[in-house]
Amino acid sequence: MRTNTAINYQQYFEKGISFEEYLKRFAAEIALGEGSPFAQYLPQNWQRQNRLIRKIKLNEDLQKAIDDLKQPVNWLLITEHWCGDASQINPVILKAAEESNGKIDLRISYRDENEELIDAHLTDGRSRSIPILVQLDENYNLLNTYGPRPAEAQLLVMDLLSKGEDYNIPLHTWYAKDRQKAIQEDLVKLIESAV
């Protein structure tokens, strides 16, 4: 569990946006075309994310973990439109929140606009990798975090980086083969940590 008592999570959660608003802002950034510094990443991430939003189905274990939640939890998702991992992971997080019947309240916070927040959740104590899902109780106390990607995918990325190789294509090939199974397994563990 990652803890940081100096962060006012309630403040970040309350100023967070809905997933619907996130999608509207994503579409608006794509419409900027070359006016966005991340124009090269946005269309593919948009397409990948929306395909998964339409087709993702929760597995039985994840649905059971959600159903077994006794207390509501708040999920604060730190992300950005340009992030390839986010396009693979965020749709699963959205679906889990939607299928929770109000037990999971999901809000989005942009990494680049909230440096204090992401700096409290650095990957390996040094990297501002995203997405990071912060799980809070009903009083906005930190329970646990998840991210930036499943452990097997993280090992793949770290191995390729250590060799000076690009990881984009191998990583998204891994996601395609995994079909969001590892993400769902990780979310089961995250939710069960709140029970």
| Distance between CA atoms of residues 148 and 132, nearest Å | 5
What are the residue boundaries of the structural domains of the chain, listed by start?
Answer: 9-192
DSSP assignment string, 125-182: TTB--S-EEEEE-TT--EEEEE-SS-HHHHHHHHHHHHTT---HHHHHHHHHHHTTHH
- What's the CATH architecture for 9-192? 3-Layer(aba) Sandwich (3.40)
Per the DSSP assignment, residues forming a β-bridge with 104 are: 73
Beta-strand relationship, 73-79 and 132-136:
antiparallel
Q: pLDDT of the chain along its 195 residues, tens only?
A: 344 558 999 999 999 999 999 999 999 999 988 877 888 899 999 999 999 999 999 999 999 999 999 999 999 999 999 999 999 999 999 999 999 999 999 999 999 999 999 999 998 888 899 999 999 999 999 999 999 999 999 999 999 999 999 999 999 999 999 999 999 999 999 999 987
| Distance between CA atoms of residues 127 and 129, nearest Å | 5
Instruction: Name the residue among 67, 28, 64, 59 with its Cα closest to residue 46.
Output: 28
